[in-house]
Structure 1
Amino acid sequence: MTTTEKLLQMGIAVALFFGVMAAILLLTSLVRSRRGEKVQAAAFLFPSLALIAIGLLYPAAKTVYLSFRNTASTEWVGFENYQKIFTDSDQLQILRNTALWVILVPIAATAIGLVYAVLVDRSRFEKFAKALIFLPMAISLVGASIIWKFVYAYRENEQEQIGVLNGVLKLFGIDTYNFLFEQPWNTIFLIVILIWVQAGFAMTILSASIKAIPEDIIEAARLDGVTGLQLFRHITVPSIRPSLIVVLTTISISTLKVFDIVRSTTGGNFGTKVLAYEFYVQSFRSLNAGLGAALATLIFVLVTPIVIYNIRQMRRLEAR
């Protein structure tokens, strides 16, 4: 397809969008009453609901349906695919890796982001420090992975090192180490990449929350003799608790879907696979539609409680 044809298709799509919106406005403007307002609201909501149903709900239902079928989706196998996920040794390792990611990344990234936010708050170099710490968020996960591949790059002791960490090890007379290939620590080193990226996000949200703490509360605490770690523990953390929950849940959801880092660094080899990467392998490489759909459904099931908890916390905050 040529560039001209692509531009033409884009122009047609834009024209259709504006045409539909104009038609809705024209038809609903003819009804001028309270009932007409409801009709107008329904007319604008219907396209969005239709797109959600077609683009989200139907694929989700189809995925759940396929998860109960065999490799070629031709035979009903019940819970056989789920049984394999929780009994096969390779799949169990993937579950353990995913659990490790979900436990370490949100906690470490949020903790580091909180430390950053407290340390740079109202300092002279605050803007520069925040920009520097947030910079990894502007890089795609693929780009971040490539950067860290150079950090972790491995060569034998007698060779000239191009990896930063192995260069430091050799400088101190320590044997070089294959960070990406040696199990089980290679998974930890991959986790470091996502922590590096997400810490900037955590810092930005938490820093804004810290600045929103009323000055009179802080001054009253200082007058009562509360300083340093006590001020952080009894004033700062309770005041920013809603933001901490949002950051933790958001990073947890992103971690459950992590794919780019594993794909760009190890290709899922050396015991580093996670659920999202295994879903890709089973669905598009092994062409095992049933197991791939089961893995996707499992990710959805794991994400849902986190989303529900986040929504409830936000509603409680709004109700105050």
Structure 2
Amino acid sequence: MAGGVTTPEHTGEPAPATGAGSPARERSGSPARPLRILVGVAGLAVTAWLVCTAFLAFAWYPQMSGDSDILIGLLGLVLGIGGAIVFFLFLNMAIEGLPSRFSGGVIPYAFLLPGLSLIGLMLIYPTVQTVVYSFADDRSAQWVGFQNYQRIFASSAFWQALFNNLLWVLIVPAVTVAFGLAVAVLADKLSAQGEKTSKSMIFLPMAISFVGASTIWGTLIYAYDRPGTAQTGLLNAVVVALGGEPQTWLQISDLRLNSILMMVILIWLQTGFAMVLLSSAIKAVPEDTVEAGRIDGASEMRIFWQIIFPQVRGTVVAVFITILIVVLKVFDIVYVMTNGRNNTDVIANLFFRKLFTEQKAGEASAVVVVLLILVLPVLIFQVRSFKKQEEGR
């Protein structure tokens, strides 16, 4: 006791620790390390500059790589991946230099920032720019207000394309999901080898691009040859074998037959995608609920609709919306098969023709904005559906 103050020495209690492992020290966290921050930030700047300079050099001076597209592609791949690794190493170094009480909260945002910046640069900025151009003339130099929208809304070609898009939306997603669900259910009842083989065959078209699939179907299925000659198209070969005359299938616009024939290609391509996701969802259904239905004497059809389907409804909706978005943006198949002729035009193909054939950038931008307005609500609904699925797990 000294001056009325009790000290640890007089009470026999240990003095509070002030070393590295003390609670006070742990609460305050490790101090900042300015050198690591400095090196990390400098490394970030130098890496970004070097990678950007290298890519610009490939674009402006292709002779540096001998005008070899393959070499430029390989160097770009190495620089892109290597630059990203080095960039994030320096980023991590800079974050580690911060006080520990800050670094933990900064890490998620710091590592997301480069990706979000690229999304903003490559997606958001062009979108905003397109909206602005839709109110400008064809040279994007003079403000014209809503004239571009007035022109496209007064055009029968626009409404024809919009109507065709609506047909695609009504038919393709529903049929694709139905086929995918049917294959998933039926394949699940086969032997292990039979299930694997059947699903592989159905999924195989997913490996083919839209352009490749269109070429295959146009050459092998829908091709037309003069009467009296051998038919290379399977559809006309069957018609001729049955005593009929070969038809130019993609020119028959009655009942939108040509559009429906092109829809078949997209259904063929996307059924495998729907099947894989729906099959996974069906396999995740608890077996005891299915067995309980069988014990109660329910038929297989009733078990599916009243036990299995309600439990995979969320996946069905997600697959439907995903395919719906693909359908709203369909372009490749129509461009390759008909280029919009014979009443088969769609919004995306109309945009392509307005911009690159007719050189009407303002009207083309207006068409794209309309397509964006059509797709955006579906995207929002899809995000909300995914959130509900995550919350329900």
TM tier relative to shorter chain: over 0.9
- Deviations along 1:213-264, one digit per CA (max 9) or x if unpaired, are 1111111111222113222221222111011001100000111111111121
Q: How many residues align?
A: 320
Alpha-carbon displacement from aligned partner over 1:110-136 (angstroms, at most 9, x marks no partner):
011111111111302111000011111
Q: What is residue 337 of structure 2 aligned with on the other side?
A: 265
- 2:213 maps to a residue whose letter is A
Kindly indicate whether residue 280 of structure 2 is the aligned counterpart of residue 280 of structure 1.
no
Instruction: Give the alignment of 1:48-197 within 5 angstroms.
Output: 48-124=115-191, 125-149=194-218, 150-183=220-253, 184-197=256-269
- Per-residue deviation at 1:151? 0.2
The answer to whether the 8 Å contact 1:114/1:206 transfers is yes
- Relative to 1, partners in 2 of residues 1:308 and 1:8: Cα closer, same or farther, differing over 3 Å? closer
Residue by residue over 1:244-302, the C-alpha shift from the partner in whole angstroms, topping out at 9 and shown as x without a partner, is 00110000011111111112111222221111111111122222111111121122211
8 Å contact from structure 1 (residues 198, 251) kept in 2: yes
Q: How far, CA to CA, are the matches of 1:222 and 1:107 in structure 2?
A: 29
Greater RCO, 1 or 2 (C-alpha within 8 Å, sep 6+): 1
Q: Which moved more, 1:290-299 or 1:99-108?
A: 290-299
- 3-state DSSP class of the match of 1:270? coil
Q: Give the match for residue 18 of structure 2.
A: none
Structure 2: unaligned runs, 5 residues or longer = 1-61
Contact 1:275 1:295 in 2 (8 A): yes
- How far apart, in 1, do the equivalents of 2:382 and 2:77 lie? 37
Q: For residues 91-116 of structure 1, what are the alpha-carbon distances to aligned partners after superposition, in whole Å with 9 as ceiling and x for unaligned? A: 11100111111111100110111111
Question: Which is further off, 75-84 or 116-125?
Answer: 75-84
Equivalent AA in structure 1 for residue 351 of structure 2: F
Q: C-alpha distance in 2, partners of 1:138/1:152? A: 21
TM-score for both structures, normalised by structure 2: 0.77
**Secondary structure at the counterpart of residue 179 of structure 2:** helix
Q: CA deviation at 1:40?
A: 3.6
- Aligned-pair CA distance for 1:9: 4.9
Corresponding residue to 1:216 among 258, 270, 288: 288
Measured in 2, the distance between the counterparts of 1:8 and 1:151 equals 41
Residue 255 in 1 paired to residue 255 in 2?
A: no
Structure 1: runs of 5+ lacking an equivalent: none
Q: Does structure 2 retain, via aligned residues, the 8 Å contact 1:84–1:91?
A: no
Counterpart mapping for 1:301-320 below 5 A: 301-320=373-392
% identical equivalent positions: 40
Which stretch of the first structure deviates more once superposed, 83-92 or 196-205? Answer: 83-92
- Give the corresponding residue for 2:372: 300
Q: Rg bigger for which structure?
A: 2
Question: Distance between the aligned counterparts of 1:223 and 1:160, measured in 2?
Answer: 58
Distance 1:9 1:212, change over 3 A: closer
CA RMSD of aligned residues (A): 1.7
Taking the aligned partners of 1:182 and 1:311, their CA distance within structure 2 comes to: 39
